[in-house]
Amino acid sequence: MTDRPTKLACRNVWKVFGSGAERLLREDSAPAPEALAERGLVPAVVACDLAIAEGEIFVIMGLSGSGKSTLVRCLSRLVEPTIGEILFEDRDLLRMPMAELIELRRHKMGMVFQHFALLPHLSVLGNVAFPLEIQGIARGKREARAREMIELVGLAGREDHFPRELSGGQQQRVGIARSLAVGPELWFLDEPFSALDPLIRREMQNEFLRLQKLLHKTIVFITHDFDEAVRLADRIAIMQGGRVVQVGTAEELVLHPATDYVAAFTADAPRAKILSAGAVMRPPDPNESFAGEVEAAERVAAIARKVEAASGPLAVIEAGRVVGAVDRDIVMGVLVGRRTD
Amino acid sequence: MHVEPSSVAALTADPPTPRRGRTLIVLVLVLAISWSFTLLPRGSLPRWLGELPRDLQLPFARWLRAFMSWLVEDAALGPLAFRDLTRGIAWLMTWPLRAAESLLVTGIETGAGSAAVAWTAPVSWVALIALMAWLAHRAGDRRLVALVTLAFLYLAVFGQWRSAMVTLSSIIVAVPFAVGVGLALGIKAVRSVRAERLIKPVLDLMQTVPVFAYLVPILILFGFGPVSAMLATIVYAMPPMVRVTMLALRQVPPEFVEFGRMAGCTERQLLWKVQLPTARPALMVGVNQVIMLSLNMVIIASMIGAGGLGYDVLTALRRLDIGAGLEAGLAITVLAIALDRLSQASAGRPANTAGRRADRVLWGLVLLALASMVLGHLLPWLAHYPDAFRISTAPFWSDLVAWLNVNFFDQLEAFKTFMLVHLLVPVKRLLLAQPWPWLTMLLAWLGWHLGGWRLALTVALAALFIVTSGQWANAMTTVYLCGVSVLVATLIGLPIGIAAGLDPRVWRIVQPVIDTLQTLPSFVYLIPVVMLFRVGDFAAMIAIVLYALAPAIRYARHGVARTPAELVEAGTAAGCTRRQILTRIRLPLAVPEILLGLNQTIMLALSMLVITALVGTRDLGQEVYIALTKADVGLGLVAGLCVAAIAIIADRLIAAASLRTRRRLGLEG
């Protein structure tokens, strides 16, 4: 991930509700929570630093009230942060004149909403074409593009339906098609699947991964569901009380939780699907004989059967060299949730 | 299910707690003191306690008169005199009105008066009924089509067509204006806090000052005639549109606005393409209200120059022509019901569901209507419903009322006397005996108790305004008539509302009745009441009760029916009897809702009160009405503002009480 250029970054972003918040933060760049409470100020986002790489699926995860929704609205400047910088390709969104921001949103950003936010008076086609209509693109051209998008999300044939005539999953497909209509580089998804039934949610997650394989957007994805984060994310940021408490891959979070809060979150995570062979292996004995080999990056869940079927331990290979060994004992340990540390 | 009468009382008869006991003592004490004032012999209290002497009053009326004459004589915006400006507006408004009348009433004419040359007939009654029926078909079901068609046929068959079309022309011009201005103001208020701070109190005042009060300034500024009448209608019908717009725009879920921003909408695009379309169903409710209020104004507007059905009613009422009055009144009612149901159905219909074919039919019908104007010129029966088939019910109504009066005179009279002696007169005496410092103090204390010092101040200032303007006695008469009417309306409405809340079958019967009651223009209530009970306080009370009954029923039903199901289930599981569920669960939870209903009832009663001045009450309404006939701006506005002050006192106190109860019940944080 780190070798790709940064697409979106934020530096020391604060969002504090209440009057006089800005003055306080200008005087004291890191006020204590008590100092805020004393003045009747409510912090929603606290000292946020993030860097999101191009083409990355970056998941911001936290429980309700953790500030994740406010943070994503700060990143898109739907909410004006109290202080801080939001850098989109090295340009500060917060200093940008409104006209320029509107241009940027029209061409480079798309957003999907939890409750779909489909305009009730427009058909599916009208909704998907809406962002193009706003730009003043001629009807024929924008509708052709909208049809393409509707096809892409698998709703071809429903162009003339109205949102209220569609199921929740279908409505969110429309929301996705609409957000992609302008061909954005940066794609915000604010709990897009949280309002859907579990089965539909899974289907939509797969659909989302399929689309991302085709489109390679830079994605900021908000969720409160750790399993969803694990399935989708390249990296996950965990938020608590307005702060980003840890950023890392799912594996890093599970193996090295920065706080008890993160540890509690990851406690029930499907470790076999998160941890790789390289993360759970033991050092090889100098003259051990192996019954086979696995790649260090492979997930435990993926090698479990192979290990079970093998007569002895398997070698863990990274860059063509043996770096460690896994055996039944280790795999069992991961599967039953035994801690390795 | 049925409601025992005692169940209502049971609400107040909860097991006494120490606090309740104290409240009770205070209540009894206050009543005792108030009562004692009536026992004092006449003249034993200093006169200034009854009404402030003239030299201590503030001359609001004179100030207003001076302001008005300055406005008319001297005020100018740059080189343009204010009077020219208002005349200019009046002249501009003439054109759309004239166009509408050409279409619906006179046909296209050139020239004026007896030299007028008619080029076409007006739109044929046949074409208009067809057009209306099609609109009904598009908006609703078969029943709506039948209703609308029958309503307009009624107008034709019963000889009310021409007057109805005059009325309809002024409505189809006034409604878009009122909606447009209301929308613009509402949008402005939502976007800027400053504008909202300016607009809201003006709205409060406009909705509480009786219409009659601002007829006079409009009359002076714009002259007598249909345009003034239309302007008054616009002023009267607009406030709810502003409120509805504000509410509707604020209710658009934030995600929609965020979506619009993210799609790169400019502020204008956001408003016109995202917020307003999303808020459309709610906005249509406002449009419906504007239509209904415009119709409500029809008769009142005819006092300053509107023709049509309102004029017919008014003249009939003045010469006590029972039949003609009822006939024209019924025509207004029929028109109101048809337009109400039609606009409600259009509001409920989701946008854009009608296909292109439907649009073609609509345009076809419009073309047909235009063609009928030309054809009507040749075929008289097409232009005007043939007289030979006209039916008049006027003699029937006259005979019916005469028969009722002859055969039931004694019963009606006995009922009237009973009510007067045992209810109206005692309450009137009680209220008129109260010295103003005592009542003002009482109100302020109540305000402080319910909502803190700010409310106490508001209430006391409103009361002092009445005192200093020298209208205390008139105001007490108003409070008495209003109070008695509200009491009766609540006593009738509450049990019905509760019964309807408990049993949907009752509600199915009650709902259409109160829907219709609410559709009727306030004036219409006067007609039968005056016919049966002649003029006086009692007739006024009956009219007010009828007019103000609907909200009492509606809110009580809503409060009772809306009790959360799990609470009722919890009660049932705990072994409550039905009656216990009603008295222990449903009613206590419905109290805030019932209080809101009471508030609405009072507001409607006050607005009706002014109209009942026509049947000879002697209160603030009468002052306003006298001012209208004398074109006295000062007196009219001052008396009107006193009514507004009463309304504001009642509204703020009850709203505070309702909020307190809601908080106590945990319905609001």
The pLDDT value recorded for residue B640 is: 84
Write the DSSP string, A39-66.
TT-EEEEEEEEEEEETT-EEEEE--TTS
Which of A233, A262, A289 is the C-terminal boundary of a domain?
A233
Residues 207-266 on B with a CB inside 8 Å of A are: 253, 255-256, 258-259, 261-266
Q: Count CA within 13 A, CB hemisphere, residue A56.
A: 24
Based on the fold, state whether residues A220 and A133 are members of the same structural domain.
yes
B349 contact A CB<8A: no
Taking only the tens place, the pLDDT of each residue in A277-333 is 888 888 888 887 888 888 888 888 888 888 888 888 888 888 888 888 888 888 888
Based on the fold, state whether residues A223 and A277 are members of the same structural domain.
no
- Sign of the alpha-carbon dihedral angle for A223, A228, A234, A237: positive
Number of domains in chain A: 2
Q: How confident is the model at residue B662 (pLDDT cuts 50, 70, 90)?
A: confident
Average pLDDT over every residue of B323-331: 83
Any idea what the CATH number is for the domain that residue A320 is in? Answer: 3.90.1280.20
Distance separating the N- and C-terminal Cα atoms of chain B = 34
The pLDDT value recorded for residue B16 is: 45
Residue linked to tokens 């799609």 = B263
Q: Is residue A65 assigned to a domain?
A: no
Rg (CA), chain B: 27
Residues 168-207 on A with a CB inside 8 Å of B are: 179, 188
Indicate yes or no: CB of B263 within 8 angstroms of CB of A121. Answer: no
Chain B residue numbers with beta carbons less than 8 Å from the beta carbon of A188 are 262
Does residue B281 carry a pLDDT above 80? yes
Taking only the tens place, the pLDDT of each residue in B145-173 is 999 999 999 988 888 888 999 999 999 99
Does residue B1 carry a pLDDT above 60? no
Cα(A268)–Cα(B349) distance, rounded to whole angstroms?
49
The pLDDT value recorded for residue B177 is: 92
Q: How confident is the model at residue A177 (pLDDT cuts 50, 70, 90)?
A: very high
Taking only the tens place, the pLDDT of each residue in B162-201 is 899 999 999 999 999 999 999 999 999 998 889 988 998 8
CA distance A121 to chain B (A): 6
Q: Count CA within 13 A, CB hemisphere, residue A123.
A: 15
Least confident piece of the model among A260-274, B94-108, B522-536: B522-536
Based on the fold, state whether residues A144 and A218 are members of the same structural domain.
yes
With a threshold of 0.95, tell me whether the complex ipTM lies above it. no
H or E segment to which residue A110 belongs? strand A109-112
The pLDDT value recorded for residue B14 is: 47
Cα–Cα distances in angstroms (integers) from residue B218 to residues A202, B12, B69, B546, in the given order:
66, 48, 13, 30
**Closest CA in chain B for residue A187:** B262
Q: Is residue A182 assigned to a domain?
A: yes
- Mean pLDDT, chain B, rounded, equals 82
Chain B residue numbers with beta carbons less than 8 Å from the beta carbon of A76 are 262
- Sign of the alpha-carbon dihedral angle for B30, B32, B36, B38: positive
Q: Please, are residues B351 and A119 in contact by the beta-carbon 8 Å criterion?
A: no
Q: Is residue A267 assigned to a domain?
A: no
Indicate yes or no: CB of A131 within 8 angstroms of CB of B352. Answer: no
CA angle B107, B108, B112 (to 5 degrees): 105
Based on the fold, state whether residues A130 and A225 are members of the same structural domain.
yes
- Sign of the alpha-carbon dihedral angle for A67, A72, A75, A76: negative
Average pLDDT over every residue of B231-243: 89
Average pLDDT over every residue of B624-631: 78
At A188, phi and psi to the nearest 5? -95, 130
Cα(B465)–Cα(B165) distance, rounded to whole angstroms?
43
Based on the fold, state whether residues A214 and A305 are members of the same structural domain.
no
Based on the fold, state whether residues A183 and A286 are members of the same structural domain.
no
Selected residue with higher pLDDT from A193 and B49 = A193
Based on the fold, state whether residues A306 and A223 are members of the same structural domain.
no
Taking only the tens place, the pLDDT of each residue in A66-93 is 889 999 999 999 999 998 999 998 889 9
Chain B interface test: which of A75, A78, A161, A190 (most B C-beta within 10 Å) = A78
Q: Is residue A28 assigned to a domain?
A: no
Chain A residue numbers with beta carbons less than 8 Å from the beta carbon of B264 are 102-107, 131, 134-135
Cα(A54)–Cα(A234) distance, rounded to whole angstroms?
12
What letter would DSSP give residue A250?
Answer: H
Q: How confident is the model at residue A101 (pLDDT cuts 50, 70, 90)?
A: very high
Write the DSSP string, B365-393.
HHHHHHHHHHHHHH-HHHHS--GGG----
The pLDDT value recorded for residue B15 is: 47
Taking only the tens place, the pLDDT of each residue in A114-158 is 999 999 889 999 999 999 999 999 999 999 999 999 999 999 999
Chain B residue numbers with beta carbons less than 8 Å from the beta carbon of A116 are 255
Cα(A79)–Cα(A242) distance, rounded to whole angstroms?
15
Cα(B285)–Cα(B549) distance, rounded to whole angstroms?
21
Does residue B265 carry a pLDDT above 80? yes
Cα(A131)–Cα(A164) distance, rounded to whole angstroms?
20
The pLDDT value recorded for residue B64 is: 80
Cα(A75)–Cα(A82) distance, rounded to whole angstroms?
12
Name every residue whose Cβ is closer than 8 Å to that of residue A142 and which is 6 or more positions away in sequence. Answer: A129, A132, A133
Q: Is residue A165 assigned to a domain?
A: yes
Chain B interface test: which of A69, A134, A161, A178 (most B C-beta within 10 Å) = A134
* Closest residue to A134, CB basis, from B253, B263, B278: B263
Q: How confident is the model at residue B12 (pLDDT cuts 50, 70, 90)?
A: very low
Cα(B479)–Cα(B485) distance, rounded to whole angstroms?
10
Average pLDDT over every residue of B303-319: 83
B32 contact A CB<8A: no
Q: How confident is the model at residue B17 (pLDDT cuts 50, 70, 90)?
A: low
CA distance A107 to chain B (A): 8
The pLDDT value recorded for residue B352 is: 54
Q: Which two tokens stand for residue B131?
A: 């057009």
Strands A235-240 and A57-61: parallel
Cα–Cα distances in angstroms (integers) from residue B638 to residues B7, B73, B232, B518, in the given order:
43, 21, 18, 29
Q: Please, are residues B203 and B260 in contact by the beta-carbon 8 Å criterion?
A: no
Cα–Cα distances in angstroms (integers) from residue B583 to residues A280, A300, A337, B9, B189, in the given order:
66, 64, 56, 9, 43
Q: Is residue A133 assigned to a domain?
A: yes
The pLDDT value recorded for residue B356 is: 60
Q: Is residue A320 assigned to a domain?
A: yes
> Which amino acid makes up residue B164?
A
* Closest residue to A134, CB basis, from B265, B278, B353: B265
**Closest CA in chain A for residue B256:** A117
CA angle B367, B372, B377 (to 5 degrees): 145
Any idea what the CATH number is for the domain that residue A135 is in? Answer: 3.40.50.300
B197 contact A CB<8A: no
Chain B residue numbers with beta carbons less than 8 Å from the beta carbon of A131 are 263-264
Count CB-CB contacts under 10 A for residue B246: 22
* Closest residue to A117, CB basis, from B259, B264, B352: B259
CATH superfamily of B398-664: MetI-like (1.10.3720.10)
B355 contact A CB<8A: no
The pLDDT value recorded for residue B3 is: 40
Of the candidates A308, A279, A272, the residue with the CA atom closest to the CA atom of residue A296: A279
B348 contact A CB<8A: no
Size of interface A-B (CB pairs under 8 A): 68
Cα–Cα distances in angstroms (integers) from residue A91 to residues A7, A101, B631, in the given order:
10, 11, 67
Selected residue with higher pLDDT from B308 and B384 = B308
Indicate yes or no: CB of A162 within 8 angstroms of CB of B353. Answer: yes
Does residue B316 carry a pLDDT above 70? yes
Based on the fold, state whether residues A214 and A302 are members of the same structural domain.
no
The pLDDT value recorded for residue B314 is: 82
Of the candidates B198, B209, B223, the residue with the CA atom closest to the CA atom of residue B84: B223
Taking only the tens place, the pLDDT of each residue in B483-499 is 999 999 999 999 999 99
E strands present in B612-661: none
**Closest CA in chain B for residue A120:** B278
Q: Please, are residues B530 and B536 in contact by the beta-carbon 8 Å criterion?
A: no
Cα(B396)–Cα(B415) distance, rounded to whole angstroms?
26
The pLDDT value recorded for residue B141 is: 84
Is the CATH number 4.10.1240.10 carried by domain B81-104+121-392? no
Average pLDDT over every residue of B450-456: 89
The pLDDT value recorded for residue B20 is: 67
Q: What is the pTM for the complete model shown?
A: 0.80
Q: Please, are residues A299 and A313 in contact by the beta-carbon 8 Å criterion?
A: no
Q: How confident is the model at residue A221 (pLDDT cuts 50, 70, 90)?
A: very high
Residues of chain B with CATH 1.10.3720.10: 81-104+121-392, 398-664
User: What is the residue range of A323's domain?
Assistant: 272-336
Q: Please, are residues A127 and A159 in contact by the beta-carbon 8 Å criterion?
A: no
Q: How confident is the model at residue B138 (pLDDT cuts 50, 70, 90)?
A: confident
Least confident piece of the model among A165-174, B155-164, B428-437: B428-437
The pLDDT value recorded for residue B351 is: 54
Of the candidates B515, B589, B519, the residue with the CA atom closest to the CA atom of residue B553: B515
Indicate yes or no: CB of B351 within 8 angstroms of CB of A121. Answer: yes
* Closest residue to A119, CB basis, from B262, B269, B277: B277
